[in-house]
Amino acid sequence: MTRRFALRSPKIAPFLLVPAFVLAVSIAGFVSPAAANAKYAAVVVDGNSGRTLFARNADAQRYPASLTKMMTLYVVFEEMDAGRLKLDSRLSVSANAAKQSPSKLGLRAGSSISVEDAIKGLVTKSANDVAVVVAENIGGSVAGFAGRMNRAARALGMNQTTFRNPHGLPNSGQVTTANDLVRLARGLQDRFPGYYKYFETRSFTYRGARYGNHNRLLGSVKGVDGIKTGYIRASGFNLVTNVRRDGRHIIAVVMGGKTAASRDAHMRELIAKYLPEASRGDRTAPLLIADTGALPVAEARIPRARPETETPSVLAYAGAEGPRDIVSAAMAEAAIPQGDVSGAAEPMDPVAERISAATEVAELASDDAPGQAADPIARLTQLARLRAGKADIIAEGPAAGEEAASGQAGWHIQIGAVPTEQGAEALIEKAQASMGEALASRFPLTQEIEHKGTKLYRARFAGFTDKAEARAACDRLKKKSFACLAVLN
């Protein structure tokens, strides 16, 4: 309305309106940013001084899409920096990784890929199968790796960012901001200047196939040395760009482009306008070298506790009328064949789906655990009292020394027990997606238990300081229709 009034006002010369109109068109990809492109966000930061030169919606949460892989690579570089991975280390390819949606390299289940090829595949092709290979080899699972990504994000000051997967495929809980992405780009350059050079890779040949970099500004805009593009329908076309020219340095982010061409054109405009305004000479902004508190690889993965023999196998389901119904449900579920379960973009294990919607949690406690009734019927009675709020929290026996060292000792929350490890991991991922920051700093883990040759897998989060904190987390999960029980491991 302001623009319409101005155009009609005889007091304002038309030529005075043209620059403002052109700027509005340019910023939004040929439309007004406020009215027609709710996905748009952009920021340009002076890399030498740290000063923001331009910002629009820079702190508004957006979907990162494949910009996610910047953090995936950050964790890879962290592992290499710590000596746990080398460029020629081999990463195994699971069936879950191989079945990811394009863009992908087409990796085969049971094969392997070197760390260096994985890096180049992520930088150029933005391969989703490679992203899951990295996640499973470093984090043990997609959920475990996402927890690692979130810890790194917090350490870098990316306080408006949450990761749920390593590739950026659609997940409503995976969000970031333009300002947070600048911090990530700075962190990659400041902490890993040698590895950062991989973002300059123009093309990559793997098993006879050549893959060009999706970043079209490489080689076409002087001074651009990376770093990443991204697109899903929910995000629009995203781009993070780093430019060094004539002693000046800027980091720019454009999110929500209508097309790749309009996004690139807008980025070129931002570079042309704001690079000359950036400071020249020595850097005065502090280096962003964060201590992410990265765990050794054995601890960073979703750990599987040592198998335990437990009896009886009891699953508590909403609607079960008595002990016979509960035990029958457990055995029936154990017989259901299970397939691989990937991240949030894939169908969930049907058992996990039902348990996560149930009002109670499956509690499978060992015979010698303190506070447990040995008799099956007595145990079921105790469980019923617990469900009714008339019994104290079930406390399990103390963990072995190696479990204490890996962070498994102490208070846990359990959200289910299912016949497959993939199903347990799917429950973990669903809880993480629903709870956001509430679970970001907790340690997801699965525990394998066995009864008469039948395996079940607990889905848990560790890292709670005391009973009250664990119970509070359960209360929040229950409000989102998750089953939950606080236990002392």
Residue 337 has pLDDT above 80, yes or no: no
Residue 19 has pLDDT above 80, yes or no: no
Catalytic residue among 69, 228, 258, 430: 69
Does this model's pTM top 0.75? My answer is no
**69 noted as active-site residue:** yes
Residue 310 has pLDDT above 70, yes or no: no
Q: Give the model's confidence band at 453: pLDDT under 50 very low, under 70 low, under 90 confident, else very high.
A: confident
Domains with residue ranges and CATH for the chain: 26-274 (3.40.710.10), 302-488 (3.30.70.1070)
Mean pLDDT of 341-363: 34
Residue 306 has pLDDT above 60, yes or no: no
Mean pLDDT of 453-475: 85
* Of 197-201, 345-349, 388-392, 438-442, minimum mean pLDDT range: 345-349
Write the CA distances from 397 to 131, 170, 299, 442, integer angstroms: 37, 40, 21, 21
- Per-residue model confidence (pLDDT) at position 482: 87
Task: Sort strands 411-418 and 304-309 into parallel, antiparallel or unpaired.
Answer: unpaired
Instruction: Give 328's contacts (C-beta < 8 A, 6+ positions apart).
Output: none
Q: Which of 3-7, 281-285, 305-309, 349-353 has the highest mean pLDDT?
A: 281-285
CA distance 111 to 95: 10
Question: 246-272 pLDDT, tens per residue?
Answer: 999 999 999 999 899 999 999 999 999
Catalytic residue among 39, 94, 120, 126: 126
Torsion angle (degrees, nearest 10) of CA 76, 145, 118, 72? -60
Mean pLDDT of 442-467: 80
Contact status, residue 218 vs residue 224, Cβ threshold 8 Å? yes
Count how many Cα atoms sit within 13 Å of the Cα of residue 103 in the half-sphere of its side chain: 20
Task: Sort strands 236-245 and 209-212 into parallel, antiparallel or unpaired.
Answer: unpaired
- Per-residue model confidence (pLDDT) at position 111: 96
Instruction: Give 468's contacts (C-beta < 8 A, 6+ positions apart).
Output: none
Question: 49-83 pLDDT, tens per residue?
Answer: 999 999 999 999 999 999 999 999 999 999 999 99
Question: 133-167 pLDDT, tens per residue?
Answer: 999 999 999 999 999 999 999 999 999 999 999 99
Return the percentage of the chain with pLDDT > 70, whole number.
67
* Of 30-44, 59-73, 438-452, minimum mean pLDDT range: 30-44
- Higher-confidence residue of 173 and 307: namely 173
**101 noted as active-site residue:** no
**66 noted as active-site residue:** yes
| Burial (CB count <10 Å: 0-12, 13-18, 19+), residue 5 | exposed
- Per-residue model confidence (pLDDT) at position 293: 53
Catalytic residue among 66, 94, 141, 356: 66
